[in-house]
Amino acid sequence: MTIPQTQPSKDLAAARTKASFPVHELTRYIHGSDAKIARRRELANIISSDPVFSSNRIGMSRVQDVKQGLQFSHRLYQLKAQHNLSQEDFLTLIEFVDELLPISLHETAFIPIIYAQGSEEQAQHWGPLAEKHQIIGCYAQTELGHGSNLSNLETTATLNRDSDQWIVHSTSFTASKWWIGGLGTIATHALIQARLIIDGKDYGAHGFIVPIRSLEDHKPLPGVEVGDIGPKAYGGFAKIDNG
């Protein structure tokens, strides 16, 4: 499949020919070796030759954008299985789609944090579920009133000693988790950053995996209010179901 060159890509190609340094050496420096460069080009070709990713991406409605984002995501998982890609190669494949997708946080934040910050028991339980897509996760740090200012987050996770449970609570409207990719439509679980409260003492932000939608019918679980925040003013996040 041949993708026609647009004027901007022609201009960029012309500018590259005028570089005063050896382009290939810089490319090798950035990516590490000729073998890695060759592998990246192989992966880029998988995306560029697939008709799913060459479909129109401009002038869509909000619903059309998100549906296309889900279509791209589904195709990526098919390609990962078809080509038996490693996770590193798969993340590179996502990069070459050149869109932020509903699965982006599941792959780049939810799964890595399970293994990086979870206990061995937690990693053994949650990791395989996430990797097999039996659950879909998002990373819920940003709040409506505080952005990603971790020290001022309002959401709390309070230990109830009587029931031996954590009570995760958005303490005000401004504590609402906001702009969370994947939360609007597809996520079943959220890795929520919340202030850890034990016996009245605040231990600062900690991560909690919280189920937010039923695995039976995908409806929000009791006590959870969740939804898509709607279209954004610019296209970079158009295909993400920010919630």
Q: For 142-173, what is each residue's pLDDT tens digit?
A: 999 988 888 899 999 999 999 999 999 999 99
What's the pLDDT at 1?
A: 45
What's the pLDDT at 237?
A: 87
Q: For 102-146, what is each residue's pLDDT tens digit?
A: 999 999 999 999 999 999 999 999 999 999 999 999 999 999 998
Does the pLDDT value for residue 2 go beyond 80? no
Q: Using an 8 Å Cβ cutoff, are 196 and 169 in contact?
A: no
